Amino acid sequence: MRVHVVHAHPVESSFNRALFHTVTETLAAAGHEVDALNLYDDGFDAVLSREERLNYHEIPGNLTPAVAPYVDRLRQAEGIVYVFPIWNYGFPAILKGYFDRVFLPGVSFRMSEGGDRGRLEPALTNIRKAAYVTTYGGTWFRTMLMGDPPRKVATRWGWATYRTPKAPEYLALYDMNNQSPEKLAAFSDRVKRSMQRF
């Protein structure tokens, strides 16, 4: 399977970056073709411009030269894995910008015609499996009090977007900064096992 791995953490020595390497290396060792994208190293611009918003519904005019290569990689994927931290109970700005700029009408969804005008239809049916690997600074309890918005977005929006046979897997480590080396290693092993059976 061709698996697109999208990473969003700016620090190369971070635990999250180590998880990104674990994901890509384990998928490759399992025989998958890995297309790894580090949004920070790639210099991805998270800002949706005025022109992009004005042309948002203009298909295919909404595919600007800056966005088209990312769309091509997404369309070639059969599986997708996101590796990122949770900051302030949400996705990092660069990852949110990736979704805003790349998951366009005609790319991730289509507007149906006729009697159901305005109804969205999924367009990324090439993706058969999805997973999210993430770390939280907040504890599990505090995150649950907030409703854990990133988990809901990832699993519910992700399933609605890709329409995979099973809901996307969501692997989360809470209270990351207070975990022992043993707990960090255990989470890395959990991620590795998941990618081995991806």
Q: What is the pLDDT of residues 29-78, one digit of tens each?
A: 999 999 999 999 999 999 999 999 999 999 999 999 999 999 999 999 99
Q: What is the pLDDT of residue 114?
A: 60
Q: What is the pLDDT of residue 49?
A: 94
Is residue 169's pLDDT more than 90? yes
Indicate the DSSP class of residue 92. Answer: -
Q: Where are the beta strands (DSSP E) in 8-139?
A: 33-38, 79-86, 109-111, 120-122, 129-136
CA distance 21 to 81: 12
Second CATH level (architecture) for the domain 2-196: 3-Layer(aba) Sandwich (3.40)
Question: Of residues 94 and 112, which shows the higher confidence score?
Answer: 94
CA distance 3 to 106: 21
Is residue 11's pLDDT more than 80? yes
Looking at every residue in the chain, the average pLDDT score rounds to: 95
Band of the pLDDT at 115, cuts 50, 70, 90? low
Q: What is the pLDDT of residue 119?
A: 77
Sign of CA dihedral 118, 62, 153, 25: positive
Band of the pLDDT at 117, cuts 50, 70, 90? low
77 exposure class (CB count in 10 Å sphere: 0-12, 13-18, 19+): buried
Asked if 35 and 77 count as a contact pair (C-beta separation under 8 A), the reply is yes
Band of the pLDDT at 146, cuts 50, 70, 90? very high
Is residue 191's pLDDT more than 60? yes
Q: What is the pLDDT of residue 112?
A: 72
Residue % of the chain over a pLDDT of 70: 97
Q: What is the pLDDT of residue 34?
A: 98
Report the candidate in 110, 137, 133 with the shortest Cα–Cα distance to residue 121.
Answer: 110
Q: What is the pLDDT of residue 102?
A: 97
